[in-house]
Chain A
Amino acid sequence: MSLSDLLYQHFGYREFRYGQEEIITDVLNNKDVFAMLPTGAGKSLCYQLPLYAGISPILIVSPLVSLMEDQVQQLKAQGEKRVIALNGFLDFEKRKGILKDLSTFSFIYVSPEILQNKYVYQALKKLDVGLMVIDEAHCISQWGHDFRTDYLKLGAIREAFGRPPLLALTATATEDVRRDILRQLNMSDPAIHVHSVDRPNIAIKLDKFPSLETKIEAVKEYALELKGPGIIYFSSRSWADKLAKALSREGRNCASYHAGMEQEDRLLIQQQFLNDELSIICSTNAFGMGINKSNIRFVIHFHPPSTIESYLQEIGRAGRDQLPSIAIHLHTEEDEFLPLSFIDSELPKEHEVKEVLLDFVGREGSAYSNHHLEREGDRFGYTETAWRYLLHQLEGLGVIKERVIQSFDVDMNLARILTAIERHRKAKLIKWFRFKSWLEEKQCRRKGLLERFGEPNHIIEPCCDYCGLNLQEYKGSRDQINVSDQRAFDWEAELKRLLTVSKEDHGEESTG
């Protein structure tokens, strides 16, 4: 059966999207493949389709539990039952059962952290993994925008699994990050597919405001005028909540979404948005990962992301249906301090490192379970990222070996760690300044973004506010969302509608 037949049969599409077929062909030829496709270009299909061409099982390393679960739900909704996600949220008994039957699964999603678990590792080692996929591969690079220490171990793990072919996927990686990925994963003679990060159907607009107040007014105005659905990004939960309330009061059908909400509420909001019952989501960057909504018409940044890669990823959630969409960045000068404090919160401070070292030096020889060690950061008041970072440093310096504290010199190691921290802080600052400088440029916005990825500019119409933009085209009537009048709600009729089949309804064809 040809690839396009498989595509139609299992995914219901008649045609591949740009780049997919070439990548899949290389994967099927047992090559190591590095692929960079813009957000929304259909990356997951590149490793899902090979199953139906006979490659199994497929191991997918994915950095976010929510992303993993969304993929699993999607595959299940497509009728693929042989799919499982292994992550820290599975309870012990259940995990044991799954590991016993691991060979019955075709798609196995894992978090990099769970791969460090002895039992998971052993069970996977016994399987003959047909393809190993590293999703969001930029996480492997120290220069990537969300570096994860456990990603560094993936190269070695691949060797241990008998060196299956490898597919590294990412949406945004600059030249240095790409080189780093190939090196860290020890990819041999890889086929490299790098597609432009540009999303031609997304117009780019940059607005500057003298004060927070004027910016708030502007976001309200955009929210009322722009054609939805849309996402507005904020740097904090409280801001997302505050603006969602304000916009709702002005009559816009809007809700906030962030990790501080209860799971049930998050699911409801997500579905309302997916089903076009909600037109605007006010969100932290927790929203959007793995959201498969094709008709998002605008993405507004009320606060800046800390890197250009995050920016592209976030605006890339607009216009996956290829229809005209717009990304608007609202800038005030005071925003510039936000990423700085964010960077500081992600890295441990000198006195914090010293405190841990002084504590550990007296506990030479004590062993840890994986779990225990990861939790100990709370005791020292570390943020999760900062603690993970420090652990990685301590392992690198040999202060911790195989989860046992070794004997070590406090001052020498402190100095080394501080040097490393300073280096990372600088790297992150450089990334931020790269984005910040884009905000200050006087040239085509798209050109500025592409330059930073070593790409030439394309001529696109409409392009950006610098090249000229007619905002009118992105405005719409506000009544496109089907909100029923809740005041005249007839509960009995609604209950009946939900649970009874009308004459025109023929119901489902098949059962089971």
Chain B
Amino acid sequence: MEYFDGVLLYIFDRFKGERSLSAVYHLLTGKKSSQTIQDGKLFKVGSFFGILKKLKRSKLEQHVFALLEAQLIQPNQHEGYQITSGGKDALSAFLVTKPIPNYLAGWQYHQVSELFWQRLSLFMQSLSYSIHGNMNFYPISKDEAIQNWVKKHFPVKKEKRVLLAEELFQEIRSHLQKLPDPHASFFIMRLSGEGRTGLTVHQLADVHKISYEEAMICFQGVIHGLLFQVQHNAAQYPILASMIEGTSGQLPLTLSTKQTYKLLEDGMTIEEIAHTRRLKRSTIEDHLVEIAINVPEFSISPFVDPKAQLEIKLASKEINSQRLKLIKDYMNDQYSYFEIRLTLCKEGI
């Protein structure tokens, strides 16, 4: 079984057969739709959000076909796939040898990780060349915003550069030391500087004789782990922390949802927002779900009565399902889909 098959089994297991193959695809490629965001939250698979942005649908289908052939999963009536008992065994075995990095956090960091990596790799490259007395190199990033950022933060004086390089070395080392050795090597091999150009993820996979997906997830995991440290211990990692400046405090909301959130904070009701923004009520409801998922301090009580919240949670437990339709039926249509959805999303932290 390939690494990617293990990841798929993990996701199918979490989805409990309640979500379709498209949901898996959107999750891995990081589609910013309320449904995908909600899936990530409800089924606790948000860490995989957008970690294989370039995944081709045909590739996913090939792997699913192989899993079906091997009878590790089976299709069900919801257009989803249920993991079989054989699949459960295979998944446990997989997780023993290849545990999912616990610092993988796709949803949290999908917006900053690319920017962070680009700034860091160009900064490293420039610093490395410059302290070795060579400023004649081709920058590893052509993105002008990235280049300008590096220019702005690059010390003018040589002595300062040497010092900064030493500090950056300490910061990166102290974090990587906490990781398994192969993961630390992965990260360093991707970096460019004097005397060596970084490897692409494909090359990294070839060198280590692993699949592209495994290499990519591993690499992303290291970046996410770094970001977590930097966010929570900024004082310990001042240089790395500076690389996410201008992004911190940003909520990972889609643009349209941000606008809705602002109007909510201004005291508007759902109806009023729908009217002002000329959007359907259901769209605004989607936005609310997204806010509930991403903004911890956001209270859903104005929209769902606290008593109703308790009952919905209980019902979900009793029938052991996150499927809105099943819960709604079970509760004799006492609550709307919106109320159930909002409650489950707030709950599933």
* A contact residues vs B (CB 8 Å cutoff): 69, 73, 77, 248, 255, 262-265, 267-272, 274-275, 277, 484, 486, 489, 491-492, 494-501, 505-509, 511-512
Contacts and interface: CB of A to CB of B under 8 A. Distances in A.
Contacts of A274: 138
A508 B158 contact: yes
A268 B133 contact: no
B269 interface: no
Contact of B131 (A77, A267, A484, A499): A499
Given A486-B189, A492-B173, A507 B197 contact: no
Given A489-B188, A508-B133, 6 more contacts: A255-B203, A262-B54, A265-B200, A486-B208, A495-B188, A495-B191
A511 B185 CA distance: 32
Given A69-B142, A271-B140, A501-B132, A491 B188 contact: yes
B134 to A, nearest CB: 7
Interface in B132-190: 132-142, 156-158, 162, 165-166, 168-169, 172-173, 176, 181, 184-185, 187-189
B337 to A, nearest CB: 38
A268 B196 CA distance: 10
A486 B207 CA distance: 7
Contact of A499 (B128, B158, B176): B128
B132 A505 contact: yes
Given A265-B200, A491-B184, A508-B133, A500 B165 contact: yes
A265 B202 contact: yes
A268 B199 contact: yes
B227 interface: no
Interface of A is mostly: helix
Nearest to A273: B197
Contacts of B165: 499-501
A287 to B, nearest CB: 15
Contacts of A277: 196-197
Task: Report the contact-size class of chain B (Cβ under 8 Å from the partner).
Answer: 35 or more
A511 B156 contact: yes
Nearest to A494: B188
Contacts of B270: none
A489 B197 contact: no
B198 interface: yes
B318 to A, nearest CB: 48
A499 B169 CA distance: 6
B309 interface: no
Contacts of A262: 54
B182 to A, nearest CB: 9
B267 to A, nearest CB: 34
Contact of B140 (A267, A492, A495, A498): A267
Residue picked from A491, A501, A512, most chain B C-beta under 10 Å: A491
Nearest to B114: A264
Contacts of B157: 511
A402 B46 CA distance: 52
Contacts of B194: 498
7 contacts: A77-B136, A264-B118, A265-B200, A267-B142, A269-B200, A495-B176, A508-B134
Q: Which 7 A-B pairs have the closest CB atoms?
A: A498-B193, A499-B169, A491-B188, A499-B165, A508-B133, A265-B200, A491-B185
Contacts of B196: 277, 484, 494, 498
A131 B162 CA distance: 44
B191 to A, nearest CB: 7
Contact of A271 (B134, B176, B192): B192
A498 B172 CA distance: 12
Contacts of B218: none
Contacts of A73: 138-139
B84 interface: no
Contacts of B137: 77
Given A255-B203, A268-B192, A512-B156, A489 B185 contact: yes
Nearest to A269: B200
B138 A505 contact: no
A467 B97 CA distance: 61
Given A262-B54, A486-B189, A268 B131 contact: no
A294 to B, nearest CB: 15
A495 B189 CA distance: 9
